[in-house]
Amino acid sequence: MNNQTKSISLTAAGLAVAAVFAYTVPNTYAQFTTQTTSQTNSAAAGSVGVELVDIDGNTISNPVINIANAQPAMADQISTFRIANTGTVAADIRLYVTNLTASASNLNDVLNIVIKDSQNVSLYNGSIANLDINFNGVAAGVSKQLSATVTWPDLTTVDDNPYQSATLSFEFAVDSASVTV
């Protein structure tokens, strides 16, 4: 047998083996197949939101605290309001004072504010300027009822005369951040 015949025989043998392999290997896999899909999947982000609301649940458009003719030993000035989680996820909510401006004689030096929850638990007691309260994990749609009591204690160690005609303005602010799980 010459080399050319040997080469043709090896090529033919190789083609025969490849043909047998191509025919038999696909037959070794399952003959049944199936496929299914789920319903349309989706994802939507939640939202955080917070508002100051009045006792009836309406957004507050007037000052929470409005004191005229403040004076030493005045009667307690009490205001009731709520902070509401208006978002769709639980949130940590912060209540604090911002935009505080005062006359030269700063009423913040003599006025005291106490914030209590609906169970009459004191959450803050001190100067208006330093008010800063955190409410952790407030569920979506939940509101917290609070009362703010402002007093001017008659302290014998303080000369109140410089505070005559003094002014103080401030805003309550609330912000929220979603709770990480």
> Looking at residues 76-93, what average pLDDT do you find?
94
* Cα dihedral across residues 16, 19, 25, 31: positive or negative: negative
Q: Provide the whole-model pTM.
A: 0.75
Which residues have C-beta within 8 Å of that of residue 115, sequence separation ≥ 6? 95, 122, 123, 124, 125, 131, 133, 146, 147, 148
Chain-centroid distance, C-alpha 15: 71
Percent of the chain scored above 90 by pLDDT? 58
In CATH terms, the fold of domain 50-178 is Immunoglobulin-like (2.60.40)
Domain limits, the chain? 50-178
Confidence of residue 36 (pLDDT cuts 50, 70, 90): confident
Q: What is the pLDDT of residue 13?
A: 62
Closest CA relative to residue 80, chosen from 143, 174, 126, 148 = 148
Q: What is the pLDDT of residues 45-83, one digit of tens each?
A: 888 888 888 888 888 878 889 999 999 999 999 999 999
With vertex at residue 102, the alpha carbon angle to CA 100 and CA 108, rounded to the nearest 5 degrees, is 80
Q: Token pair for residue 83?
A: 């902070």
